[in-house]
Amino acid sequence: MTPQEIADYKLTWRANGVAVPLHSDLDVAGKDWCRRNLERHQWAFNPHTAVYAHTFLFENAANAAEFVTHFKLDNHNAL
């Protein structure tokens, strides 16, 4: 996919994507995990969505669950 095709495709799912907040100290590790495990069109990164947090968006819940498991996150300690 070209960069334009990726951007257009992400527009089709981002509004309903699965959001996972991650502490801002882990943003590089989060991006690295996504790049190694997913295709570029399957995830997105929104910086500074909260104090000390960035949000990763995933096209499907299975990928989000793998990310959460890898970083040992849950609803109570995601940040």
For 47-62, the pLDDT digits (tens) are 999 999 999 999 999 9
Whether 32 has a pLDDT exceeding 90, the answer reads yes
Q: What are phi and psi of 38, to 5 degrees?
A: -130, 160
Name the residue ranges covered by the structural domains of the chain. 3-70
Contacts of 31 by beta carbon, 8 Å cutoff, 6+ apart? 45
Distance separating alpha carbons of residues 22 and 19, to the nearest angstrom? 10
Quote the pTM value.
Answer: 0.87
